Structure 1
């Protein structure tokens, strides 16, 4: 076994009986040595952030231990598990570890290693908080870039540090653009790779860091005539391709990778790194965790550059300017994501998230939003504990939103269809490749005639499209495996090629999660809104231009025009009628246009969303809506004629009476509010109740009758002037009186002596649009 830099720490490590916080750079051997050392003292679970790393490390460590992979050393990741009950060490991912923790508290393990903790995923943060809370296991937490003092304090752990085996890396910058960007990225990558391969003295591999599968495919196409082998490396790639990338070759290769290649993976032949400086990561958006494109942190940039110096001195070309300012570290996921998954997983493990101490405190606003959503979907009770419904949701390897949608479907057919859709959206952003040419587009249209993204995805999970429609087979296979797992967990029938019951699925989906309902903007037709957020229909979406409403199941954030601006693209949208959203209770209601036909009151009830009317109908209101409508009709003189005017004048007189300290009492509200309250006092709940009251029941008793005549002489609401009738308005706050001419042919301004005394008031006269002061 080759000696590794971390080997010098073994005596010190074995002398520590408690928790350990280990800091060691990539290449020090921490991911391969520590599992073997811990396994010597008891069965060990090793948690790696990614499936690729868990599987590849397990195979490598099994070789070091001289055991068959899957026997003494095994792995357990989604869709691929090889271990035995007596395996000394099992490599797994945080999701699997959390499910095992919820099932039996990880009773079969003495030690749990959380490797690459510096990536600060929400699930590793939660695992650490839960394991610390329970106190049943020895914890070993390793990090390549994170300062360990705070972590050691949090765990009350011994802090061990090892040096790496790192050769010098020469870092250069492309100079343009200023910041990392996708603009012209494929061509810039291709040019950089070709220049680097011209170095005949370097027979090593070139590792290119790109933000996602789409950029990897574009770069691969731009390098299509390259003599060197081009390998794509990302989470969705098949095992055979992964193994090829992780095995040394005898000629230079170009490995196009996402950030899965930043840490644990051993890429043995890399001597040159070309870094686009971008990654896809989640962030808060409208109460959801949305995947967006971001510049990497400086710590991630340094980590990527270090991959070039594992074998010998290497090179790193950064495709941005040296003067660009990157954030020091990537914020932890708990600080930038919605926390529904975390709260659900914590409750499944028996501890509400609020009762746990995390390495970094959870944002209060995100916890409250997640609690509200999970309580609304009946996954958590008011105390934060798991309900029976939540217990059914948790084992599904899905976002809680999709898990909830599956369980909210009304029958097995829609449940199965929703399971297929959720599997497709979880497996990857696209199951289809880009459509090129009319033949591909027409073939897809003939096979999947619905102009609907959800229907297309469900069809793709259930069957292959005919040629020449391009299919991303590895992503489709993962979606089908996941769909089969969900179906098996819920005792649903096996997949068939039957068309999905889409109308029922969409109705149930927006009834369960109303915020999935969006309406088209009237002026910007590419944009849709739901009252709290806006999305733009993605270019690849099949949503027709004429659709006025849609159910948006998935969205993706991309950079906008500004430095910090992002645009959310609707990548999976299904057209629906606005009335469908209204029937599901989406949006809010407003009542307008009260009417009285002599026998009954009706109003127009509108259900609206994002400023648009989804549906409207004339209804007979009851309760508060009836009383509000009746009050408006009274004030308009259409119900109990004369009563509205009398109430308005009496309320105005009373409030003026109090303001001038002629008496004591409580000010009255606006006439409409007073009338609605009075109708409530009279017990009016329906049209039949309204028929039992009389106009006198609505009289406002304000200024005492024995003072009313005298008060009205001093402060009238109406005046008779020579040649004119006028209405008097009192502005109490400004102590201003406006005399408004309402009738008559008078053209002159009244003299001061024609008006009441009104001491201390500023007086104005209004005739039409002309307003003048009266001295």
Structure 2
């Protein structure tokens, strides 16, 4: 060990250090905030056969933990205790404890799965369930099983819900440390009037007003510093603006700040302090001097709209376990208070635990890590939760489009190059493929803005220019790291970077890149637009109406600029950030950069298609050659001589959509169709089906080319084309248009009901018929009419009618129509069409 137990601060974790040292293999440590698990356990385990690596979910926590442990040893960070985070590394040959972020640990495992020289790994704050944390846990379980059974693995959690982690570790033992936190008094402080629930990134200003008022109350009611939990940097700035005139220092604390500013918020000051923090202050670090916590009750989590390819942050209510951790910040050094800006009833409805990031986040980087590890779909890995199948499939498809994985999901050389950049795969692609076109420095600057979402307005170029002229050491450090990644292996955790795969955009002027003149090839506006477009080609967008602020993205999603946006009116933009409120018809553009059509074509080259389209649209046949960028139509050219077969298919499509009423149905056509329907109903094949469904697909439309031609089509001729010549010759036999009756008349048969042809004939003309005629073996339904043409009987059994029904008809009709014959025996009477 680096320091004796008795020399360590008297914190609750000291009581279980012997058990931790005695436990071999894997174990789970459950210890509430403030017990010393993050800083004392690594020192107690160090000094063995190798280095102790501590993985923290956040850079701020990693730096703070390293600084605290080094302070206990009386040293500067970088000697026996060091840290490595993205963009910064402070270690030496004497380092025995190295604190890293979980993302750095995952990349290190990819390069060196055996973790040579490492004796123990501590995964801190596993309960937070970040993607990198889940991956590191799963990878380490496999490393211990296959390569390093001697590697000690300790997963720590601040909550008692550690059973799932223990199961993932193969039934590992759980060690619990009792908390000796000071009591924290809970004050329920809901807003005095109802506030609108958060949606997207929006938080009701009335809630922020109430938070500011509660801060003033906390300062008045208690001594010491106040720690305020807010969902994001924007809310921190808003509340800070409402706290003017306080006799206290107001300090922001969030992940987008430079390291020096973050570190300053973690040091005691000469005056009382109000620290306005995001969830970075929930765990893994202590904010000294805090006696009161004001909790807005909100958290910001990643959400992915997989159907539209929109990834964004969403504001959600905090979980009960997170609320407990936040409250615990007030009781680390003395009794404290927590002011919760919600009611006890609302608290009972909060989720017990935060949702794991894997359930709703963008899984593209996660999927690349799985492919690099050799488990493209995660099968066989000890992940605490399986990734959602649809989200993982979308992520793998994105990687395939980037060339990062092959058709079997295996990582390619291109995928390794993207991973080595230490960025989201989309941003890595933009960096590697955009640098030859815009210059290494400019590509690195734009990507550094996108990686940390540092935009202060929806105009990315304006944000870029402010960053260039400002003094943001964090951004500048990231720019240096990314620039280095383009030319050589960087110092912090990236391996050798292969030459990027060149796109068409890369090759347009490679000589300018070689002699340093690449900065002159594209102005800043288009350079930013190209980089954004390379990262998010499906978000290349064109205005829907000239001068408007509504756009259609290449991926098919409509999106709107804010009403006062300075980008309004641009024909082309590349959307860096957008979100869509559930139920909204369009997305809201948060950040974008200008484009022109040529640059848009280069950025989204794989979405560029040229198709010949012949289909039914807007009530007629459309035949054109169309060039599209995804869902965006670039050009249209009418086809003068379209393919006749495809035109026929389009006309049939129109008939299916709008119905057979597009045709002109003469009486002859209607009756012919009815006769054919009777033949098909009665005899089946080879008589054709002439139902609507059948005709929509089979009707020969001849030389028709457009809607107007359909109205001129001779439908009777088209129907007869459905018959072979042999079948056509039998139509008058099977389903004659007219039938002769005993009087000599030829009367039209009504085939309206194909199951029951009808013959309407006057009684006098049917004299002499003993039975009803048959068609194709089916007895005709006779409608027997009076001399005035009105039905007096309906029958298929004529013999029965003559015997039973006719006498009554005769008795009724004889007096009414005395000039017409009404013989007693109609079967032997002379039929007639005339009166007597």
TM-score range, shorter chain: 0.7 to 0.9
Q: In the aligned structure 2, how far is the partner of 1:358 from the partner of 1:219?
A: 39
Say which of 174, 194, 201 aligns to 1:159. 174
Instruction: Give how far 1:399 is off.
Output: 1.7
Residues 592/497 of structure 1: CA separation in 2 closer, same or farther (3 Å cut): closer
Q: In the aligned structure 1, how far is the partner of 2:756 from the partner of 2:628?
A: 40
- The answer to whether the Cα contact below 8 Å between 1:73 and 1:90 also exists between their aligned partners in 2 is yes
1:695 maps to none
Residues 259/588 of structure 1: CA separation in 2 closer, same or farther (3 Å cut): farther
1:33 maps to 40
Given the alignment of the two structures, is residue 51 of structure 1 paired with residue 59 of structure 2, yes or no? yes
Structure with max Cα Rg: 2
Given the alignment of the two structures, is residue 500 of structure 1 paired with residue 523 of structure 2, yes or no? yes
1:445 maps to none
Q: In the aligned structure 1, how far is the partner of 2:779 from the partner of 2:134?
A: 70
1:629 maps to 647
Residues 246/579 of structure 1: CA separation in 2 closer, same or farther (3 Å cut): closer
Instruction: Give how far 1:17 is off.
Output: 0.9
Q: State the SS of the aligned residue for 1:248.
A: coil
| Within-5 A mapping of 1:190-201 | 190-199=212-221
Given the alignment of the two structures, is residue 364 of structure 1 paired with residue 389 of structure 2, yes or no? yes
Given the alignment of the two structures, is residue 249 of structure 1 paired with residue 249 of structure 2, yes or no? no
Say which of 29, 43, 61 aligns to 1:22. 29
- The answer to whether the Cα contact below 8 Å between 1:581 and 1:614 also exists between their aligned partners in 2 is no
Q: In the aligned structure 1, how far is the partner of 2:291 from the partner of 2:436?
A: 56
1:98 maps to 106
Instruction: Give how far 1:422 is off.
Output: 2.0
Q: In the aligned structure 2, how far is the partner of 1:282 from the partner of 1:23?
A: 26
- The answer to whether the Cα contact below 8 Å between 2:159 and 2:321 also exists between their aligned partners in 1 is yes
Residues 635/58 of structure 1: CA separation in 2 closer, same or farther (3 Å cut): closer
Say which of 338, 341, 352 aligns to 1:316. 338
Given the alignment of the two structures, is residue 120 of structure 1 paired with residue 143 of structure 2, yes or no? no
1:383-426: CA deviations, max 9, x gaps? 22210111111112322222223344494426764443222111
Instruction: Give how far 1:305 is off.
Output: 1.0
| Within-5 A mapping of 1:162-201 | 162-176=177-191, 177=194, 181-199=203-221
Say which of 277, 282, 292 aligns to 2:314. 292
Q: In the aligned structure 1, how far is the partner of 2:557 from the partner of 2:599?
A: 20
Given the alignment of the two structures, is residue 616 of structure 1 paired with residue 636 of structure 2, yes or no? yes
Q: State the SS of the aligned residue for 1:374.
A: helix
Given the alignment of the two structures, is residue 554 of structure 1 paired with residue 577 of structure 2, yes or no? yes
| Within-5 A mapping of 1:223-622 | 223-285=243-305, 286-324=308-346, 325-355=349-379, 356-409=381-434, 411-413=436-438, 417-430=442-455, 432=456, 453-460=459-466, 463-464=468-469, 473=472, 476-477=475-476, 480-489=479-488, 500=523, 503=526, 506=529, 514-520=537-543, 526-530=549-553, 533-538=557-562, 541-544=565-568, 546-547=569-570, 549-556=572-579, 568-576=587-595, 584=605, 585=607, 591-592=613-614, 603-606=623-626, 613-619=633-639
Q: In the aligned structure 1, how far is the partner of 2:388 from the partner of 2:53?
A: 29
Q: In the aligned structure 1, how far is the partner of 2:653 from the partner of 2:367?
A: 52
- The answer to whether the Cα contact below 8 Å between 1:283 and 1:337 also exists between their aligned partners in 2 is yes
Instruction: Give how far 1:310 is off.
Output: 1.1
Say which of 194, 217, 232 aligns to 1:212. 232
Q: Which moved more, 1:396-405 or 1:202-211?
A: 396-405
Residues 255/631 of structure 1: CA separation in 2 closer, same or farther (3 Å cut): closer
- The answer to whether the Cα contact below 8 Å between 1:398 and 1:422 also exists between their aligned partners in 2 is no
Q: In the aligned structure 1, how far is the partner of 2:242 from the partner of 2:400?
A: 49
2:684 maps to 662
- The answer to whether the Cα contact below 8 Å between 1:20 and 1:159 also exists between their aligned partners in 2 is yes
- The answer to whether the Cα contact below 8 Å between 1:378 and 1:390 also exists between their aligned partners in 2 is yes
Instruction: Give how far 1:126 is off.
Output: 0.6
Q: In the aligned structure 2, how far is the partner of 1:677 from the partner of 1:344?
A: 53
Residues 174/607 of structure 1: CA separation in 2 closer, same or farther (3 Å cut): farther
How many residue pairs match? The answer is 680
Q: In the aligned structure 2, how far is the partner of 1:715 from the partner of 1:93?
A: 85
Residues 383/609 of structure 1: CA separation in 2 closer, same or farther (3 Å cut): closer
Residues 3/512 of structure 1: CA separation in 2 closer, same or farther (3 Å cut): closer
1:460-504: CA deviations, max 9, x gaps? 45x32xxxxxx6845653553455344445788889976636558
Q: In the aligned structure 1, how far is the partner of 2:39 from the partner of 2:122?
A: 11
1:251-278: CA deviations, max 9, x gaps? 3111011110000111111000111111
1:512-540: CA deviations, max 9, x gaps? 85421345566996554446544332467
- The answer to whether the Cα contact below 8 Å between 1:631 and 1:672 also exists between their aligned partners in 2 is no
Q: State the SS of the aligned residue for 1:337.
A: coil
Q: In the aligned structure 2, how far is the partner of 1:130 from the partner of 1:116?
A: 17
Q: State the SS of the aligned residue for 1:345.
A: helix
Q: In the aligned structure 1, how far is the partner of 2:433 from the partner of 2:641?
A: 31
Instruction: Give how far 1:350 is off.
Output: 3.9
Q: State the SS of the aligned residue for 1:142.
A: strand
Instruction: Give how far 1:29 is off.
Output: 0.8
Given the alignment of the two structures, is residue 78 of structure 1 paired with residue 98 of structure 2, yes or no? no
Instruction: Give how far 1:510 is off.
Output: 5.3
Q: In the aligned structure 1, how far is the partner of 2:77 from the partner of 2:313?
A: 35
1:640 maps to none
| Within-5 A mapping of 1:618-767 | 618-619=638-639, 627-629=645-647, 658-663=680-685, 702-711=722-731
Given the alignment of the two structures, is residue 130 of structure 1 paired with residue 129 of structure 2, yes or no? no
Say which of 6, 11, 19 aligns to 1:12. 19
Instruction: Give how far 1:127 is off.
Output: 0.9
Q: State the SS of the aligned residue for 1:35.
A: helix
- The answer to whether the Cα contact below 8 Å between 1:24 and 1:144 also exists between their aligned partners in 2 is yes
Residues 609/413 of structure 1: CA separation in 2 closer, same or farther (3 Å cut): closer
Q: State the SS of the aligned residue for 1:273.
A: strand
- The answer to whether the Cα contact below 8 Å between 1:594 and 1:633 also exists between their aligned partners in 2 is yes
- The answer to whether the Cα contact below 8 Å between 1:541 and 1:573 also exists between their aligned partners in 2 is no
